[in-house]
Amino acid sequence: MTSPAPANAGKGATALDDERHVKRNPHPNFKEVEASRPDWRDDVGPRFTKTRSPDWKLGDGANDGGACLAKKHVEIDPYAEGRPVVFNYKLLISAIVPRPVGFISTRSKDGKLLCI
């Protein structure tokens, strides 16, 4: 049995859009997850390499010689019938990292917007 859609749900919202179905923390026992990771090592530093194509320029496209075009891609239609809005939300919060926590703007004493 599913719960009804929230009262403030927009067009296309479903019962799965209800906040109770948004699993924001898929690892409720973080200590268990942390224990499964390898130990911290101070002797391993960052590793720097050249880019795959050092002569790449803005507008050249992917710098893998077209290899990415041979791979299977997944198309996601955010407006597909039956797709809960929460699925789009979860996709965005997992794909855009780090997420901004706020937006800041500054105005001068005379009220003009300051841009750098």
Angle at 101 between CA 99 and CA 102, to 5 degrees: 125
- Could you tell me if residue 108 is inside a domain? no
23 assigned to some structural domain? yes
Place of tokens 């507008």: 59
Closest CA to 86 of 7, 5, 1, 2: 5
Residue 111 in domain: no
Q: Which residues of the chain have pLDDT under 50?
A: 1-9
* 1 occurs within a structural domain: yes
Report the alpha-carbon distance of residue 54 to residue 62 in Å, rounded. 12
| Total domains, the chain | 1
pLDDT value at residue 8 = 45
Q: Please give the pLDDT value at position 80.
A: 92
| Residue 103 to residue 105: CA distance in whole angstroms | 7
What pLDDT, on the 0 to 100 scale, is given for residue 99?
Answer: 67
- pLDDT tens readout for residues 39-61: 888 787 777 787 777 788 888 87
DSSP tag of 60: S
User: pTM higher than 0.75 for the full model?
Assistant: no
Q: Domain residues for 24? A: 1-37+78-96
Confidence at residue 24, expressed as pLDDT on a 0 to 100 scale = 67
Residue 5 located in a structural domain:
yes
Asked whether residue 3 is domain-assigned, the answer is yes
